[in-house]
Structure 1
Amino acid sequence: METEVKEEANWIENQMTDYLDTQILSDVFNRIKNLFNDAPLSRKDLHAINTIPELFLALHNYKKIFLGNYGFFTKRLKTVNPRLGTYVDQKETEIKLMLNEGTRDCLQESTGVDSHSTGHIQPPQEVVPEQETGHTQLVREVVPVKETDGGTAGNFHKSENATLSHSTIEAMGIPGLRKSIGLITLKKDGCLLESTTGFRVGKNYLMTAYHVFKEIIKIVWERILKKAEQSDKKESVKKKLQDLFGFQSGYLNPRKQPLPFGQLFEFLKDHEVQIEVFDKLFRQATKVMFGIRDGKTTAGEFRFEYDIPFADVDHDVIVLKMQTGESIPPPPLQLEKDSVRDIVHLIGYPKGQTEVDLRSDIKCSVYVDDQGLRSDVTKAIKWWEDHRNRSVHGDYAVCRYGDGMNCTVTGKMFLHTSKEFERRSSGSPAVAIIDDRCVVQMMYLRGYPEFCYKDKNFPPPQYLFEAGVAMPVITRLLIDCCPEVLED
């Protein structure tokens, strides 16, 4: 058990150093690195160190820092970035508690002696001289995250639960996320149909993936068409459908348009058509909860207006307007308008109702050009042919960017994330922290190849590609179609 605890502690340290590496730009990193010049790093050491994980490894080798004790490093980091220094303090406390609990569990298991009693036995540990902190330290092994054979994407599939809890996210200095990212629930006939993630935008709007609401909207639309056929004013109702939605029959596949169900329902009501069923099918069946803590909302619970400001099946985006009344909606997140960064933090509720806690997978790798994506897709296709004797060219065809573009024609970009985010993660924002603000880079949609999720037949993680829609593309669409959504 002690070995398992130590491995878990090492994993937390690796997550911490990976996160620091994403937050510290090269010029700032050089300033931090030079703070260790001759104390204890030589010029040769400094020249060979290019990342925070490499700096940590060197300080471990010189016995200046230890697993769960980073005072020597943190003291210097705080002179450059106090917020990140506080974050390291938080992780140090977390690791210390884990190691202490692990030691007690190991003692009780191996000796049967309560570690809180006066007769507990201490396991043998290697002691080194006092360092800068003035305390005796323990030497512990550092286990870096290893790459998976055949590509680097395996770094982002570290384990079944390679994500951070929200308490750790708050320690990063971004406490507002719990309020601005919500858990959406959709019900059908009183039973849970779907649970997923959405996030606040504009004055009182919520953005999520269109396919999440597709089934609910389909049910509402089918009932509308049925009522239109049954109405003695059928022609008048069909004309209204044409005016509001652009067509009057068939499937509803919205493309860059609003869905003014509220206006339609008022029209139906004026024409003595019963509309109570729509309240049950849509408004009562859908809601979003913000600030969830211990399974309860702390920042408000909202239903949605019938009128949907924006929906697009091609980009897989829907924007809903929340019913606020006297309630004040949580603050909106800022949307990226220029270009998506190659490293993002995916944040959401990947387990839906089974574990109501905001999670984050830090340092997800995004393909920002087609060259790297095309190379990895080619390797994936070959793997399926060599190891599963299966032709998958068509299944990976979607994982391509347009000529001269850094995304698909519908704004999709591809990334790798942890296994925990492989299901029920649609609508989760992928953010970058810019000037201490969370800026949404993209919205998570789905994974490819799609048959893997249906058949539960997965390749090595570097050959599974997740897709998100780029926020610069979506913001341009919103500016053209419904600019009011972007108004704070």
Structure 2
Amino acid sequence: MVCYCARNKRKNKQKDKTPNGNIEEPNSSQDIELKALDESDKEPDDLKETESLLEKAQELPQENGIQQHTVEINSEEKSPKPKRKEHDSKSRKKESVKNLKHIESIENNYSANTQHFHFYNDQTQPNAANAWKEVENGTGGLAGELKKKQDDTLTPTQWNALNTQPQSVGCLIAYGDNRGTVFRVGTCYAMTAFHIFSDIVRIGDGPNEEDQFDWLLLKNDEIYVNFNESITDKPRILSKLTCIFYDRNLDVAVLKFDLISDLPRKMVLDKSGFSNPKAVNIIGFGHPSNTSKKKIDPSCSVIPAASVKIRQAHAWLQTNRIFYRQKVDDPNVVDAGYYGYDDPHKIILNCYLEHGASGAPLLAVDNKRCVVVVGILTNGIPDFYFRLSPADQRAFPTAYRFEYGTRMKDIYHAIQEANPELAKDIFGEQ
């Protein structure tokens, strides 16, 4: 027992004291080896970045019932006395790439689930839940993509052709006022709606048309066409106008320029009626906030006469007929309602342009000639809307307002019957 205590006493004397009085034991060879391993086990920068991204992925918030994605990392347990541990840099880089891909997958899933939640619960979308189910099932287009209902894509050639059309559209000015829209056709002509200038030359309401109009009034210097983007800019040409054709039923007229120099190029007209577009592009004047500037109204929906929209409009008017009869001077206008909606010469559509757009061309994209005029904008319906007070007009449901256009093929037949040479000049030989 005495020898054992003496031996321990000598052993304790060999221990060094630190400046603060603590006893510090010298490092053994095994401790030195472990320290060397720890120094070689320093994590590379890319692995540190990976672990940082993993921590961010774990902190992604839960939103409205969406399950939060977490990443579980299995830490390696170090043996208390490892004999030897190799740290291959290549294997660590592979592990980093694997972790990064895993993080990217987590973030994509989170983003997709968040989009799913917001779209599914968005009350501003009328059928959001059904639309999303169609996307998921692949019945609403390619799975995972939200698609438009209509295909109105254009090739660069078609876009360039459409882009050159506005220069051929002008505004008919009479005594400083915007009377409507016209567009260039044929060698020296312009086409427009008949009603926009009939009031300019009207002199009476007699039974004979010769007694109703004085066509010489068109020769007035204050009546001209301005092809500029804004009618406040000085017109490039000042040419006298002559009416050489009109049709009241189709609400169309053809005007002739006395001077043909500096006129913009003519537009291509569709006389065959082959085009049955689901939407048209309109170029004209008559924007509600600024009627003095030329505007492009793209992708205006064409509405079939037998569509649900038209049937709903008739039903709505029938319910509110008595109310609106009390709002206008002539109740018979309300009774006329949507008269003419089933006229085969007419195109029913929805557009944004209003007063001042009458006479504007209705453009459709054609694979052969790129862009053709398929009709001419004439008027809006129901007619009694324009006889309401401003307050009643603002309260009128926009879903039950439509615009009419006359089909170009019917205009061709009317001109062909009245003046074959004029039809040949305007429509060409096809």
> Please, what TM-score do these two structures have when normalized by structure 2?
0.55
Partner residue, 1:400: 341
- 5+ residue gaps, structure 1, are 1-42, 58-79, 85-169, 226-245, 253-258, 262-277
Partner residue, 1:54: 146
Q: 2:346 corresponds to which letter in structure 1?
A: K
Which of 172, 178, 195 in structure 2 is aligned with 1:184?
172
Q: 1:83 corresponds to which letter in structure 2?
A: P
Matches within 5 A, 1:146-295: 174-187=162-175, 192-219=176-203, 250-252=211-213, 278=216, 282-292=219-229, 295=232
Partner residue, 1:451: 384
Partner SS state of residue 212, structure 1:
helix
Q: Deviations over 1:225-268 (max 9, x none)?
A: 9xxxxxxxxxxxxxxxxxxxx9686435xxxxxx9x5xxxxxxx
Give the Å deviation of 1:422: 2.3
Q: Is the 8 A contact 2:192 2:253 kept in 1?
A: yes
Which of 366, 391, 402 in structure 2 is aligned with 1:434?
366
Partner residue, 1:83: 156
Which of 417, 439, 442 in structure 1 is aligned with 2:351?
417
Q: Is the 8 A contact 2:168 2:265 kept in 1?
A: yes
Give the Å deviation of 1:351: 4.1
Give the Å deviation of 1:385: 4.5
Change over 3 Å in CA distance of 1:330–1:52 after alignment to 2: farther
Q: 1:209 corresponds to which letter in structure 2?
A: A
Partner SS state of residue 258, structure 2:
coil
Over the matched positions of the two proteins, sequence identity in percent amounts to 20
Partner residue, 1:485: 422
Partner residue, 1:317: 252
Once residues 308 and 147 of structure 2 are traced to their aligned partners in structure 1, the CA distance between those partners, rounded to angstroms, is 28
Q: Quick one: higher RCO (CA 8 Å, sep 6+), 1 or 2?
A: 1
Partner SS state of residue 185, structure 1:
strand
Give the Å deviation of 1:199: 0.7
Structure 2 residue 299 is matched with structure 1 residue 363: yes
Give the Å deviation of 1:342: 2.7
Once residues 51 and 446 of structure 1 are traced to their aligned partners in structure 2, the CA distance between those partners, rounded to angstroms, is 42
Partner SS state of residue 414, structure 1:
strand
Which of 268, 281, 285 in structure 2 is aligned with 1:349?
285
Q: Is the 8 A contact 1:216 1:282 kept in 2?
A: no
Give the Å deviation of 1:432: 0.8
More displaced, 441-450 or 353-362? 353-362
Change over 3 Å in CA distance of 1:393–1:373 after alignment to 2: farther
Once residues 244 and 292 of structure 2 are traced to their aligned partners in structure 1, the CA distance between those partners, rounded to angstroms, is 28
Q: Is the 8 A contact 1:350 1:423 kept in 2?
A: yes
Change over 3 Å in CA distance of 1:184–1:50 after alignment to 2: farther
Once residues 376 and 482 of structure 1 are traced to their aligned partners in structure 2, the CA distance between those partners, rounded to angstroms, is 41
Q: 2:377 corresponds to which letter in structure 1?
A: Y
Q: Deviations over 1:406-425 (max 9, x none)?
A: x2xxx23322222xx12221
Give the Å deviation of 1:332: 2.5
Give the Å deviation of 1:374: 4.5
Give the Å deviation of 1:477: 0.8
Partner SS state of residue 54, structure 1:
coil
Q: What count of residue pairs does the alignment treat as equivalent?
A: 279
Partner SS state of residue 316, structure 2:
helix
Give the Å deviation of 1:434: 1.2
Partner residue, 2:129: none
Over the aligned positions, Cα root-mean-square deviation in angstroms equals 4.0
Q: Which entry has the higher C-alpha Rg, 1 or 2?
A: 2
Structure 2 residue 388 is matched with structure 1 residue 296: no
- 5+ residue gaps, structure 2, are 1-134
Partner residue, 1:24: none
Q: 1:49 corresponds to which letter in structure 2?
A: G
Once residues 413 and 427 of structure 1 are traced to their aligned partners in structure 2, the CA distance between those partners, rounded to angstroms, is 14
Change over 3 Å in CA distance of 1:422–1:325 after alignment to 2: closer
Change over 3 Å in CA distance of 1:197–1:386 after alignment to 2: same
Once residues 148 and 263 of structure 2 are traced to their aligned partners in structure 1, the CA distance between those partners, rounded to angstroms, is 44
Change over 3 Å in CA distance of 1:469–1:248 after alignment to 2: closer
Which of 400, 411, 416 in structure 2 is aligned with 1:474?
411
